[in-house]
Chains A and B, each alone.
Chain A
Amino acid sequence: MTLALLLIALVLLGSAAAAMLSRNLIHSALLLVGAWAGLAAFYLWAGAEFVAFAQVLVYVGAVSMVVLFAVLLTRQGATAAPVEFDSYKRMVGGLVTAGGVAGVLLGAILGTPLAISAHPAPAAISVKQLGLQLMGPHAAALLIVGVLLTVALLGAVIIAAIDRPEDPAP
């Protein structure tokens, strides 16, 4: 089991590092998708089947498409050209931002009390139990997230579908 975890971690961290180091944006995006898939593998290893499949469905399936479309639509033909080194100012800015995010995340993780060895391994939770939990005690959160996503979707439709006056009527 530990060997499998090491293998998953190697693939995950390897593809994440390669995504950062790659000078080709499309390759970076695809490697990022690989890292997300590795994360799903880790969830599977940890026994969280439902979360793993949801991770694949949402990240590998949908978010990856958003990333790839964003890259293709914003880089106007220069997708294959490697990204050149820009300036020291940008490098310092990037390092400071990344360091800040890493610091906040590390602080949050270290500050959370994780009683790992105290509990015996809990029995596998069925999808039905998960559903009941989501629809019962956490129904409000689920509804709020749903409304938020719907509003975002409608906003995107409105931004994208402005009828310009010069458009001839179909």
Chain B
Amino acid sequence: MSPASTSSFLERAPLLLRDWIVDLFPAALQWFVHHLLSITAILTVFGLFFAFTTIAERKLLARLQNRLGPNRSGLPWFRSLKLWGLTQPFADAIKAITKEDVVPAAADKVLHFLAPVVIVAFSLLGFAVLPFGRHLIPVELDAAILYFFAAGTATELAIFMAGWGSRNKYSLLAAMRALAQLISYELPLILSVVPVVLVVGTLSTQEIALAQGSWTWGVLPHWHVFTPWGFAGFLIFLVAALAESNRSPFDLPEAESELIAGHLTEYSGFKYALFFMAEYFGLTALSGLGVTLFLGGWQAPFAFLEFIPSWLWFMGKLAGMIVFFIWIRGTLLRLRIDQLTRLAWKFLVPLALLNLGNAAFWALTAGWTGPLVLVRWAVSAAIVIVPFVILGRRLSAGFAPRTYRYAT
């Protein structure tokens, strides 16, 4: 990771700061400080990102529902400073820490305690392989994408531990629901990522971001989302990522009208906050992966905008994805469990498999030139659109228009 001398000062600023701090320590400790700084940076940046995601979510949802949202909290000694309620997350954090921690008498104490710890620890691991900027990647791994998904698998175990350890019917039922959902959607999620690996020919996230670097005619960036297979893959990825992070419209495990708060029912205080945190960390990490794989990573959309440092582009795209997810939460209704599994197994998995073939076609026809390029695009688009229409029609055939027997 040696910053090229051509990069601007802002581009290299985080690296310069890191190298300056590392040089303060003796040589034997430098590798340790180097990694410790990466970890501290991730914890600080994404801890704050989490805090402001919660306030953004509350405010945006409020606006979507024609309310104002939290706008009262200011600073303790500066009453005249209003800050639009932006200090709300810090007040929430103090509240969560000082709350009483209630553990049910019948609970499996060890598992009940371990579940939130495991889920937060493992949800943070995914950030290690995301390329945040041109020279900014905590750990450069050859098998980065495999690592990312391996790090994410422990959340399933943690949810099981929480559900079973609580000794509560609703917790266990919800944990089973959550596991069924996570296992169902892991398949389309990974299948939507495989085409990118196939076309770029690497599992390294940094190289995938680099491969989306140039422009067609100077305007259309070579992001994967602007190819037929990439567009389809991105949509499948979005749906699967929503389901993997238990967010609306896939928030059945925490459907409060049926299951109280799901596997979180018996958690209070800071343990609850840890689960909440892990959910947002998971969503942010998956969004970061989506940005890297499909939205060009840290690449600027236009050549003349490259003066803005790459890590700002990455964070901007990440924030865009999060806002999109909040928008979805404010718009769509919750699915039923049979609809949820049907969507995964009968719709997303076949489409993702076809999309894999589509990516293979795209990779094989990379050498086509002239009018054949149009044929390539047409065939690839047809492979995406035709099955989508046919499958969608067939799956929704018996369900609409809905008739009501006892209501109008």
Instruction: Flag if B203 contacts A127 (CB, 8 Å).
Output: yes
A49 CA to B164 CA in the complex, in Å? 32
Known pairs A60-B154, A65-B156, A80-B108; A127 contacts B161 (CB<8 A)? no
Instruction: Flag if B157 contacts A127 (CB, 8 Å).
Output: no
**In the complex, chain A residues 49-94 whose Cβ is within 8 Å of any chain B Cβ:** 49-50, 53-54, 56-57, 60-62, 64-65, 68-69, 72, 79-80
Known pairs A33-B157, A80-B108; A127 contacts B179 (CB<8 A)? no
Minimum CB–CB distance from A103 to chain B (whole Å) comes to 33
* B179: A residues at CB distance < 8 A: 65, 69
Known pairs A57-B150, A60-B153, A80-B108; A30 contacts B202 (CB<8 A)? no
A15 CA to B230 CA in the complex, in Å? 43
**In the complex, chain B residues 146-190 whose Cβ is within 8 Å of any chain A Cβ:** 146-147, 149-151, 153-154, 156-157, 160-161, 164, 167, 179, 183, 186
Instruction: Flag if B141 contacts A56 (CB, 8 Å).
Output: no
Instruction: Flag if B164 contacts A50 (CB, 8 Å).
Output: no
A50 CA to B167 CA in the complex, in Å? 38
Minimum CB–CB distance from A45 to chain B (whole Å) comes to 16
The number of chain B residues with a CB under 8 A from chain A is 24
* A27: B residues at CB distance < 8 A: 111
Nearest to B167 among chain A residues (CB) is: A80
* B202: A residues at CB distance < 8 A: 127-128
Known pairs A26-B164, A33-B157, A68-B160; A126 contacts B150 (CB<8 A)? no
Known pairs A53-B146, A65-B183, A127-B203; A30 contacts B153 (CB<8 A)? no
Convert B183-227 into 0s and 1s, putting 1 for each residue whose CB lies closer than 8 angstroms to a CB of A: 100100000000000000111000000000000000000000000
In the assembled complex, B305 has its CB within 8 A of some CB on chain A: no
Interface size of A as a range: 20 to 34
In the assembled complex, B143 has its CB within 8 A of some CB on chain A: yes
The A contact surface, by secondary structure, is helix
* B108: A residues at CB distance < 8 A: 26, 80
Instruction: Flag if B143 contacts A64 (CB, 8 Å).
Output: no
In the assembled complex, B142 has its CB within 8 A of some CB on chain A: yes
Nearest to B106 among chain A residues (CB) is: A80
* B161: A residues at CB distance < 8 A: 30
| Cβ contact of A126, chosen from B142, B147, B186, cutoff 8 A | B142
| 18 sample A-B contacts, Cβ–Cβ < 8 Å, listed by A number | A26-B108, A26-B164, A49-B143, A50-B143, A53-B150, A56-B150, A56-B153, A57-B150, A60-B157, A61-B153, A62-B183, A65-B156, A65-B179, A80-B108, A80-B167, A126-B142, A127-B142, A128-B202
Nearest 4 pairs of A and B residues by beta carbon: A61-B153, A56-B150, A53-B146, A53-B150
- Contacts A33-B157, A57-B153 aside, 7 further interface pairs with beta carbons under 8 A come to A54-B150, A60-B157, A61-B156, A62-B153, A65-B160, A127-B142, A127-B203
Chain B residues packing against A (C-beta within 8 Å):
108, 111, 141-143, 146-147, 149-151, 153-154, 156-157, 160-161, 164, 167, 179, 183, 186, 201-203
